[in-house]
Structure 1
Amino acid sequence: MISRKKEETPKVKAAIQKAVNYELTIADMAKRSEKRAWQVATGAIVLSLVLAGGYFMLLPLKERTPFLVLVDPYSGNVQTSRLVSNVLDKAISGGEAVSRANVQRFVLARESYDWNTLSGRYGDWQAAYLMASPDVGLQFRQEYSLKNPESPINLYGKLKAIRVQLLSTTMTGSGRGGSTGTAIVRFQRSVLDKKTGVLSFLDNKLATLTFKYNNNLRLDDDQRIVNPLGFQVMSYKVDNDFVASPPSATTATADPDAASATLDAATSVPGTPPAGDAANPSGRESAPAAHGEAK
C-alpha cells in the first residue's frame, strides 16, 4: 500500500517560517555585533595613534633645567638662578633690542669719563644730558660741578680717564606706549693713566634706572642724531655691587689720546666742557630744549 505524502498544514508552515526567521535574526545580530566590534577597535587604534603623536610632539618640551645657587660672601644672601643652555639663541624683539641699546648707551655716557670726549656736539656729556629727564640731568650737572670735590673733573683731570665695562643688563618693560620700563645694569669701572697706559680697577657698580619714550620731547636735528626716538631716563641710582674684586692693576695698551692729554689748560676752565658750560655742554643755545616738557 502506497502512502501519500501529507500536505503541510498552515500551522506547520507557520512553524517552519518562524524557525527560519529565528535563524536569520541570529545571523543578522552576529553580523551587526561583529561590525560594531570592528568600529570600536578602529576608533581605539586611531585614538592611540593620536595620543602617541601628541606625546612625541610634547617630548622635546620636557627638559631638565639645572639651578645654580649663589651665596653672597659679604651679605650671606642666597640667590637661585636657572641655567639655560640656549641663551644665545633666545629671540628678542626689535623694540626690546632698541631699548636695551639706549639703556646701555646712557650708562656708558653717564659713567665714563674722558676729558677729550666729554664735550662736543656728540660727546658723552651731550648724550647723557639729552637722554635724561630734567631731574636726572640736574643730578648729572651737580655731579660734574667744579664746586663738587668728588667731581670726576677734579679727581682725574685731563691725564686720567674712567673706562666702563658693562657686565649684564636686566630689563622689565619696553617703556613704550606711555609705560615706564625698568633696567638694572651691572658694570665695572677702571681708571686709565694716559701717561703710562696702566688700567687700574676702581669698583663694581649697580645702576638702577627707569625710562620711557617721550614723543613730545623737543629736539632739533642734531640732537635727534644722539636721541632719535625721544628716550628719556626718569630716575637713576647707582649702588655698590659687592662682588669679588679683580687684580688691582693691569697693563693695557697705551691710549692713543695720551699724546693729546697735554693740551693747553688755557683753552677752557677745568671742570667745564671747552665748547660750552655745564647747562649747555654742546655750546649751542638750543641744547636746553632737550628737556622739553611732555604734553
Structure 2
Amino acid sequence: MEPVRQDDGSEYFRQAASWDTDHVLRTKQSEKRAWLVASAAGVIALLSVSANLMLFPLKQVEHRIIRVDETNGLVDVQRTTLSDATTTYKEVTDKYWLRLYVRNREHYQYDQYEHTYRTVGLLSSAQEQKKVYAFYRPDNPASPIHQYGSKVRVNVKIRSVTFIGKNLANVHFTKIAEQPGAPSVESYWIATVPYRYVNEPVSDDLREINPLGFQVLDGYRTDPETGVTRASEAAK
C-alpha cells in the first residue's frame, strides 16, 4: 500500500470543505424558495378571503312564489326579495292567497263557472262556504250566471293589498266587464277579508289547490271605492 502524500491530504480536506459549503448554500436556497411559495400562498388566501368579504353584502335570501292565474292558466313568477326588515315571508304569502281568493271570487267567465265556484269554496271556511254556495246557486237570481250570462266576462285586476289588523286585510281591485260589440266597463272596489290558516287533514286533490290550509272567514264583504279613476290607478 502506497503511503498518503501530503498533497493528497490537502486536496481531500479542500474538497470536503467545498462540499459542506455547497450543501449549506443549497439548503439556504431551498429554504428561500419554500418561504417564497408559502408567502405567495398566504397572499392568495388573503385575497380570496377579501373577495368573499366584499361580495358578502351582495348576497341575499330570495324567495319566489309561482302564481297561476285561474282565469287563463298563465304562470307568473313573483320575484320578491326579502332582504329588508319591513317585508316578511308571511306577508308575501298572505298577499298571494288574498289576491288569489279575491280574483277568483270576483272574476266571472261562463265556461269556468264551476271551476271558480269550487276554488272559492275550498279557500273559504265552513260558514263562508254557505254564503258562497248560496250566491253561486243557479236558482239565485243575483248569481253571476244570471247577472252576466254567457257573453259577458268580468276580469279582476288587483291594485293593492293592505293589512288593517291581525289576519285582516283590505284588497283594492278593479272589475272590468267586457262583452262583444260593447265598450268595457270598469268599477272600483275594496274587499275586506278576514282569514286564517288551518292544518286540517284533507285529500291530495284538495292539497293541490290549497296546500297551506288558507281560509277566508265569515265577514268577507266588498264595497265600492270612490274617487278612483284610470289615471290614479295607473299611478299606483
Look up the equivalent residue of 1:231 and give its one-letter code: F
How far residue 96 of structure 1 moved from its aligned partner, in angstroms, is 1.5
Cα distance in 1, alignment partners of residues 199 and 184 from structure 2: 41
Structure 1 counterpart of 2:113: 118
Residues 127-276 of structure 1 correspond to what in structure 2 (within 5 A)? 127-172=119-164, 181-193=167-179, 195-196=180-181, 198-201=183-186, 203-216=187-200, 218-235=201-218, 236-246=220-230
1:149-190 C-alpha deviation (Å, 9 max, x unpaired): 2211001111111111111110256xxxxxx51111111111
Q: TM-score, normalised by structure 2?
A: 0.57
Q: Relative to total residues, which structure has the larger strand share, 1 or 2?
A: 2
Q: Relative to total residues, which structure has the larger helix share, 1 or 2?
A: 2
Cα distance in 2, alignment partners of residues 207 and 228 from structure 1: 23
Cα distance in 2, alignment partners of residues 101 and 126 from structure 1: 19
How far residue 127 of structure 1 moved from its aligned partner, in angstroms, is 1.6
Aligned Cα root-mean-square deviation (Å): 2.3
How far residue 246 of structure 1 moved from its aligned partner, in angstroms, is 4.6
Q: TM-score, normalised by structure 1?
A: 0.46
How far residue 118 of structure 1 moved from its aligned partner, in angstroms, is 2.2
- SS of the aligned residue for 1:139 comes to helix
How far residue 91 of structure 1 moved from its aligned partner, in angstroms, is 4.5
- SS of the aligned residue for 2:217 comes to strand
How far residue 135 of structure 1 moved from its aligned partner, in angstroms, is 1.4
Cα distance, 1:155–1:97 mapped onto 2, change above 3 Å: same
Look up the equivalent residue of 2:185 and give its one-letter code: S
Cα distance, 1:197–1:116 mapped onto 2, change above 3 Å: farther
1:100–1:171 contact (8 Å) kept in structure 2: no
1:210–1:234 contact (8 Å) kept in structure 2: yes
Structure 1 counterpart of 2:102: 107
Cα distance in 1, alignment partners of residues 139 and 230 from structure 2: 33
Q: For this pair of structures, how many residues does the alignment match?
A: 148
How far residue 90 of structure 1 moved from its aligned partner, in angstroms, is 7.2
- SS of the aligned residue for 1:113 comes to coil
Answer with 1 or 2: which has the greater Rg.
1
Look up the equivalent residue of 1:237 and give its one-letter code: R
Cα distance in 2, alignment partners of residues 152 and 141 from structure 1: 12
- Percent identity of paired positions between Structure 1 and Structure 2: 27
Cα distance in 2, alignment partners of residues 143 and 243 from structure 1: 28
Cα distance in 1, alignment partners of residues 112 and 132 from structure 2: 16
Look up the equivalent residue of 1:190 and give its one-letter code: I
**Which sections of structure 1, spanning at least 5 residues, go unmatched?**
1-88, 174-179, 248-295
Higher relative contact order (CA 8 A, sep 6+): 1
Cα distance in 2, alignment partners of residues 152 and 90 from structure 1: 42
